[in-house]
Amino acid sequence: MDLPIPTIYGSISRTANSAIDICGSSSLNVQQLLLTAYAPKISVVSSASADSIAKEFGEVENVQHLLSYFESIFAYGSNYNSTINSITNSINPSANLAGSGCVRFVGDVFRMIGNNNSNYEELFNLKEFSEELKDYVRVIDTSIEKFSDPPNYTSFKENYNKISNLQNSIYLKLIALLFLSQNMSSFECFNHPVMQLVVISGKDSKSEISELTSSLNSSNLPKWLDKSSILQHIIILVDQNDTETLQNALKIQEDMKVRLGRRSTVIPLNVESSKVCEDPSAMRLLPSLFRETKFKSKNKESNVLILGKEAFDSWKRPLQEIISRDLLLFMNSKIKQWNDEVVTPRTSLTGRIFGGRKWGSSNKSSFFSFGSSQSASAGDKENNSTKISYDSTGGYYLAESPEMILRKLADWYFMLGDYKNAYTIYGLVKKNMINDKAYAHLSSLQEYSVFSLLLGASGKSGTGAQPITPKMISSVINPMLDSSFYSYLSRCNLKTCTLRLTIIAAELYFFLGQTTDYNTASNESALTSPNVETYYNESMILFKKVIDSKLFDNLSNSYLMQRIAYVYLSYNRTHIDGKLQGNIPEPSYYESENPSKLQVSNPNLENFGLSRSRRLVLWLLLSIKELNPDEQPIQSQLMVWRIDDQLHTDSSSKAAISWLQRDDGLLAKSKAKLHSQNSLDS
């Protein structure tokens, strides 16, 4: 049976699966998902007539929904056969930054936010997060049942790769849900759109067009939002067979240029070409993983959008031109401007001396007050008040303040994959945030400083560059992680930010470990990097920290436990390190005899101690306990079969598996529950 597995995966490249295992997806898949999550945002606002045109091309809600299907095209290409390259052309601030080609199309976020200056809101609702994940697990269970109902071990082995892909997508969905929110925040700029697309039709009136284009200039927007860093572009949709509407669209385009100075693009569309029957050249566009599943399609292919080749090209070409010609050029120009106006003065000799202090205040002890009287003129007071960049009451920096400009610059570098410059700019603004006691801003800044270090190091692993050492982890990275964890949770009460910080840092450690291990092995090194096990250990410490915090429900925790099991699976490096275990170790003189200890007869000393199979099985067992076979029978059964396969692999040593064979053990109880349920169902 051919299931639309890419439909479940969304925008994740299928070739990114380096190793298929049912208990975990490759860390490369998660890294690709993160690069897409942090892509520049494009806010889409559309008229009713433009939405009607979009609905002619498939079962979509509006223009933004239609454009979201092109996210994976811009990230991976038409055939989804490549991975995202996160390395930019140059790390020189004045050079052009190409980025990875990813963008994310979001809704009208400016209408959502209103005049909310503090906006210390959670990234998402934890209850809705749990419900969304449960719904997704239900979809996966339904797909697995199509192989055999009820699922049996024979079908499981015959369709192992397909079932594993479906199962692995659950964890990818969990990661995607961390980035599902479109809410803009005052203490980070990743959800601040870089561009606003105003999509209209050639039949819209001037009043309708004016209402849409003026949304960005609303006075109700918060003071921490920089409107000058958002590029507005108008798209005019017309039917290419309607000459009168096409002429009207050209008039609107000229009016936009003369009256508002706005760039616009006319997109002529052939609505008839969207009617696909059995066209072999038709394109199957996959939905974005970052879109909620509330919209249900009637199509048997779930949410896959099928477009004819002509209709596909009529949308893709102008969108690509807008991104490459307008969006990236705009970002490059703003980056150069901010570097010249803010970064260069701060990094100069004078800036380094005086940059950390706020001179020129009304305090008479200031050097620049020259002992003037305490009473200042009204004009001086006004000038001093304008120099205040941080509003301690609202907890935000003004959009024009140097701190907010530097934060936006660093976030833009991060979006474009220049992690070295991002880390440098984050460091420039950190001291001011400490002095201002801007705890939410400081926590977020430290969070992305860590992400920049880990992503930058993973891109250079195996190239001879200086790796992240255990000393750097203990003295630089872990203190920032601990500080942000405490500040998010205790000072700011931002539980979802705490979850994002810890889970993503754990994943980046894991990705760094797998990347380093793979690169050293492919270079035919005699030994793996000594840091690999350190990276894996740090990853598991953070995953366990999330579980111990009890911020997630049992279902989410069960998949984090499966992730820990997958990390233990990655420890198996016998093909590289086996020759280290050639000699039989002598028994210790001080070791006392323990009659209850299980003895391993004839151990294979080439491999002994180099795998973590028992810990892998233990965490899979704990995940079954969290899943609860009564509530999630299919998910629990899959993990039981995975444990049985692992035990069969380790059957050479009875001592290694006898601890699992007790009648009163968790594995036996789980099997009994599942057996009784299958008996009732039959």
Q: How many CB atoms lie within 10 A of CB 453?
A: 23
**What does the block give as tokens for 505?**
């840092």
- Please report the pLDDT score of residue 277 as a whole number: 55
Per DSSP, 195 falls in state E
- Please report the pLDDT score of residue 194 as a whole number: 96
Residue found under tokens 């690509």: 320
- Please report the pLDDT score of residue 451 as a whole number: 97
Q: What is the DSSP string of 636-647?
A: HHHHHHHHHHHH
Using the predicted structure, report yes or no on whether residue 522 has a pLDDT greater than 80: no
Using the predicted structure, report yes or no on whether residue 443 has a pLDDT greater than 70: yes
> With contact defined as beta carbons under 8 Å apart, do 650 and 600 qualify?
no
> With contact defined as beta carbons under 8 Å apart, do 184 and 121 qualify?
no
Q: Interior CA angle at 567 toward 561 and 572, to 5°?
A: 135
Integer Cα distance of 178 and 105 in angstroms: 17
Q: Is the peptide bond before 318 cis (omega within 30 degrees of 0)?
A: no
Average pLDDT over residues 95-109: 71
pTM (2 d.p.): 0.85
Report the percent of the chain where pLDDT is more than 70: 74
pLDDT confidence tier of residue 562, bands split at 50, 70 and 90 = very high
**What does the block give as tokens for 561?**
């436990």
Instruction: Find how far residue 430's CA is from the centre of its chain.
Output: 24
- Please report the pLDDT score of residue 448 as a whole number: 97
Integer Cα distance of 339 and 302 in angstroms: 47
Phi-psi region of 679 (alpha: psi -120 to 50; beta: other; left: phi over 0): alpha
Phi-psi region of 77 (alpha: psi -120 to 50; beta: other; left: phi over 0): left
Alpha carbon of 346 to those of 337, 353, 422, 424: distances in Å?
14, 9, 15, 12
pLDDT confidence tier of residue 4, bands split at 50, 70 and 90 = very low
Helix (H, G, I), strand (E, B) or coil at 529: coil
- Please report the pLDDT score of residue 606 as a whole number: 52
- Please report the pLDDT score of residue 600 as a whole number: 62
Q: Specify the pairing of strand 41-46 against strand 195-201.
A: parallel
Using the predicted structure, report yes or no on whether residue 639 has a pLDDT greater than 70: yes
pLDDT confidence tier of residue 149, bands split at 50, 70 and 90 = confident
**Using one digit for the tens of pLDDT, what is the confidence trace for 257-284?**
888 888 899 999 987 766 655 667 788 8
Using the predicted structure, report yes or no on whether residue 523 has a pLDDT greater than 70: no
The residue length of the chain stands at: 682
Using the predicted structure, report yes or no on whether residue 86 has a pLDDT greater than 50: no
Residue burial 220-232, b: 16+ Cβ < 10 Å; e: rest? ebbbbbbeebbbb
Task: Tell me which amino acid residue 401 is.
Answer: S
Integer Cα distance of 106 and 358 in angstroms: 38
- Please report the pLDDT score of residue 586 as a whole number: 61
pLDDT confidence tier of residue 20, bands split at 50, 70 and 90 = confident
Write the burial class of residue 157 (CB in 10 Å: 0-12 exposed, 13-18 middle, 19+ buried). Answer: exposed
DSSP H or E segment with residue 145: helix 126-145
Using the predicted structure, report yes or no on whether residue 93 has a pLDDT greater than 80: no
Residue 287's closest CA among 70, 131, 490?
70
Any idea which of 168-177, 308-317, 369-378 has the lowest mean pLDDT? Answer: 369-378
Using the predicted structure, report yes or no on whether residue 353 has a pLDDT greater than 90: no
Alpha carbon of 203 to those of 232, 244, 246, 328: distances in Å?
21, 10, 9, 30
DSSP H or E segment with residue 306: strand 305-307
Alpha carbon of 209 to those of 45, 55, 202, 645, 650: distances in Å?
11, 20, 10, 62, 68
Residue burial 328-346, b: 16+ Cβ < 10 Å; e: rest? bebbbebbeebbeebbeeb
Q: Specify the pairing of strand 104-106 against strand 41-46.
A: parallel
Average pLDDT over residues 465-484: 90
> With contact defined as beta carbons under 8 Å apart, do 512 and 458 qualify?
yes
Widest Cα–Cα separation across the chain:
97
Phi, psi of 240 (to 5 degrees): -65, -15
Alpha carbon of 656 to those of 382, 505, 612: distances in Å?
76, 32, 11
Using the predicted structure, report yes or no on whether residue 524 has a pLDDT greater than 70: no
Average pLDDT over residues 429-443: 94
Using the predicted structure, report yes or no on whether residue 388 has a pLDDT greater than 50: yes
Q: What's the mean per-residue pLDDT of the chain? A: 80
Using only C-alpha atoms, the chain has a radius of gyration, in whole angstroms, of 28
Task: Tell me which amino acid residue 406 is.
Answer: L
Average pLDDT over residues 644-662: 68
For residue 255, give every residue at least 6 positions away whose Cβ sits within 8 Å of its Cβ, in sequence order, or none: none
Q: How many CB atoms lie within 10 A of CB 596?
A: 4
Integer Cα distance of 371 and 628 in angstroms: 73
Using the predicted structure, report yes or no on whether residue 376 has a pLDDT greater than 80: no
Task: Tell me which amino acid residue 565 is.
Answer: A
- Please report the pLDDT score of residue 595 as a whole number: 74
Report the percent of the chain where pLDDT is more than 90: 42
- Please report the pLDDT score of residue 664 as a whole number: 78
pLDDT confidence tier of residue 23, bands split at 50, 70 and 90 = confident
- Please report the pLDDT score of residue 116 as a whole number: 54
Alpha carbon of 290 to those of 126, 196, 483: distances in Å?
16, 19, 29
Integer Cα distance of 189 and 194 in angstroms: 10
Phi, psi of 44 (to 5 degrees): -115, 120
pLDDT confidence tier of residue 563, bands split at 50, 70 and 90 = very high
Alpha helices in 191-308, H assignment, sequence order: 206-213, 243-255
Phi-psi region of 600 (alpha: psi -120 to 50; beta: other; left: phi over 0): beta
Helix (H, G, I), strand (E, B) or coil at 420: helix
Using the predicted structure, report yes or no on whether residue 39 has a pLDDT greater than 70: yes
pLDDT confidence tier of residue 42, bands split at 50, 70 and 90 = very high
Using the predicted structure, report yes or no on whether residue 75 has a pLDDT greater than 60: yes
pLDDT confidence tier of residue 17, bands split at 50, 70 and 90 = very low
- Please report the pLDDT score of residue 5 as a whole number: 45
Using the predicted structure, report yes or no on whether residue 103 has a pLDDT greater than 50: yes
**Using one digit for the tens of pLDDT, what is the confidence trace for 191-209?**
999 999 999 998 888 889 9
Greater model confidence, 482 or 245? 482
Integer Cα distance of 25 and 227 in angstroms: 40
Residue found under tokens 């093909």: 575
Sheet containing 195-201: give its strands across. 104-106, 41-46, 195-201, 231-239, 263-269
Using the predicted structure, report yes or no on whether residue 137 has a pLDDT greater than 50: yes
Q: How many CB atoms lie within 10 A of CB 605?
A: 13
For residue 181, give every residue at least 6 positions away whose Cβ sits within 8 Å of its Cβ, in sequence order, or none: 123, 124, 191
Per DSSP, 135 falls in state H
- Please report the pLDDT score of residue 120 as a whole number: 63
- Please report the pLDDT score of residue 423 as a whole number: 95
pLDDT confidence tier of residue 221, bands split at 50, 70 and 90 = confident
> With contact defined as beta carbons under 8 Å apart, do 199 and 176 qualify?
no
